């Protein structure tokens, strides 16, 4: 849906504040704006229901929000204009940490003292899904950057659900110091981040949240190897802390791609919606992960995995761009195409942790279908 068509739409249906025990009625082709109040937290939410009933729900979280004086951050629902591209009803959630009386751009759902927001956001998602009669297996949590952190926190609290995240913060205390210090001051009364991580490991690290809730949500995680914080800080934080879980409902797939120009920015709209719809169409997350003998499930010690994945990320990030890389989606990018050239450093990576570069000089577009798994835990 284009921006122009969005401006021609009638105002949202305003449902006001809803409480546990209330219910939302599905209204096809309509945006429904409501606040869900649970405990001490009020979560701003926007629900879109497709004209046809799909039996699926995407729960989308904001990343960093660009603050302007004239815009209430709790009325910002990123990717709202994508609704026609996504084959599901969509619940957009805004982080209650960002308010009109502060200037915070990234909150990671930390809220304030006594008002931790991530549990309330997860409850808002489950409340909406139950009203729409959508089971956990048909719920997909999605976000990028800080939105990815929130998506994983919510999925950890919704057993049987799935998640798709792109360049998420795994541990927000390892992100840019300016944003980290702002949340340490606002949400934790200027407590040192080291102490916050010790006192609240499940609030600062999604891997520790998985441990706290006793399961890993079925997840596909796409990380740009050319983004240093994502590949060399956040990814090792995941591998080092991810608890040893196994079973039918626990499957976490990490895939690397390389887009120097894209950096930490999320994948483009076509690639993102393709990845979302690919998962939504599948009955289980295991069907969405491309596997072959080169990328078996791994279970060595965390230090070995961190070293190997970090080497793969560095190799991808430093590989020179050449005109030989095929355009995403072209015939030459198929599995039957001839092997691509690899640098000496790339070739020396353990076969268990090899990854292909998916960037190319002719176009910044990255197809998630050509992203290669480098770490897979089931």
Which residue blocks in the chain are alpha helix, DSSP H? 3-7, 118-131, 146-156, 177-188, 193-199, 201-204, 206-213, 228-229, 235-241, 269-280, 302-318, 344-347
Question: Picking from 75-84, 268-277, 347-356, which range would have the lowest pLDDT averaged per residue?
Answer: 347-356
This prediction has a pTM of 0.80
Choose among 25, 213, 182: nearest CA to 119: 213
| CA–CA distance, 51 with 174 (Å, rounded to integer) | 42
Model pLDDT, residue 284: 56
- Please determine, for residue 304, whether its predicted confidence score (pLDDT) is greater than 80: no
Please report, to the nearest 10 degrees, the dihedral formed by the alpha carbons of residues 327, 329, 333, 335 taken in order. 170
Average pLDDT over residues 344-364: 29
Task: Select from 7, 34, 10 the least CA-distant residue to 20.
Answer: 34
Q: How sure is the predictor about 252, in pLDDT bands with cuts at 50, 70 and 90? A: confident
Q: Rounded to an integer, what distance in angstroms lies between the CA atom of residue 180 and that of residue 165?
A: 20
The whole-angstrom separation of Cα 140 and Cα 55 is 12
The answer on pLDDT for 192 being more than 70 is yes
pLDDT at residue 231 greater than cutoff 80:
yes
Whether pLDDT at 354 is above 50: no
pLDDT score for 225: 84
- Indicate whether 364 pLDDT > 70: no
Name the more confident of 12 and 131.
131
Candidates 276, 176, 181; CA nearest to 220 is 276
Alpha-carbon distance of 75 to 95, in angstroms, equals 10
Lowest-confidence range among 190-204, 280-294, 313-327?
313-327
CA–CA separation, 118 and 219 (whole Å): 18
DSSP 340: P
pLDDT value of position 303: 56
């Amino acid at each position: 849906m284009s921006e122009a068509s969005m401006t021609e739409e009638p105002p949202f249906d305003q449902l006001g504040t809803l409480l546990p025990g209330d219910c939302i009625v599905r209204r096809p082709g309509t945006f429904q704006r409501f606040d869900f109040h649970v405990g001490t937290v009020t979560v701003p939410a926007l629900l879109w229901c497709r004209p046809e009933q799909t039996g699926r729900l995407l729960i989308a979280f904001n990343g960093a929000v660009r603050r302007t004086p004239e815009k209430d951050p709790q009325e910002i629902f990123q990717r709202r204009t994508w609704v026609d591209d996504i084959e599901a009803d969509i619940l957009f959630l805004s982080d209650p940490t960002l308010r009109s009386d502060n200037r915070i751009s990234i909150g990671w759902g930390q809220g304030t003292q006594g008002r931790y927001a991530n549990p309330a956001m997860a409850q808002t998602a489950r409340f909406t899904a139950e009203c729409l009669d959508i089971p956990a297996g048909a719920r997909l949590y999605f976000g990028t950057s800080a939105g990815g952190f929130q998506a994983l926190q919510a999925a950890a609290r919704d057993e049987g659900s799935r998640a798709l995240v792109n360049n998420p913060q795994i541990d927000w205390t390892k992100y840019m110091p300016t944003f980290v210090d702002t949340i340490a001051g606002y949400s934790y009364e200027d407590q040192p981040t080291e102490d916050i991580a010790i006192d609240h490991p499940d609030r600062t690290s999604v891997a520790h949240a998985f441990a706290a809730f006793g399961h890993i949500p079925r997840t596909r995680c796409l990380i740009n190897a050319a983004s240093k914080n994502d590949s060399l800080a956040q990814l090792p934080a995941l591998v080092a802390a991810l608890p040893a879980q196994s079973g039918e409902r626990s499957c976490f797939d990490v895939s690397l791609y390389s887009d120097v120009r894209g950096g930490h920015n999320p994948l483009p709209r076509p690639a993102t919606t393709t990845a979302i719809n690919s998962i939504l169409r599948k009955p289980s997350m295991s069907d969405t992960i491309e596997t072959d003998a080169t990328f078996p499930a791994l279970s060595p010690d965390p230090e070995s995995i961190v070293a190997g994945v970090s080497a793969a990320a560095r190799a991808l990030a430093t590989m020179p761009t050449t005109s030989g890389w095929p355009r995403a989606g072209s015939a030459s990018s198929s599995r039957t195409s001839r092997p691509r050239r690899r640098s000496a450093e790339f070739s020396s990576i353990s076969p268990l942790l090899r990854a292909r570069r998916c960037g190319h000089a002719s176009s910044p577009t990255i197809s998630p279908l050509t992203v290669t798994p480098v770490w897979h835990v089931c």
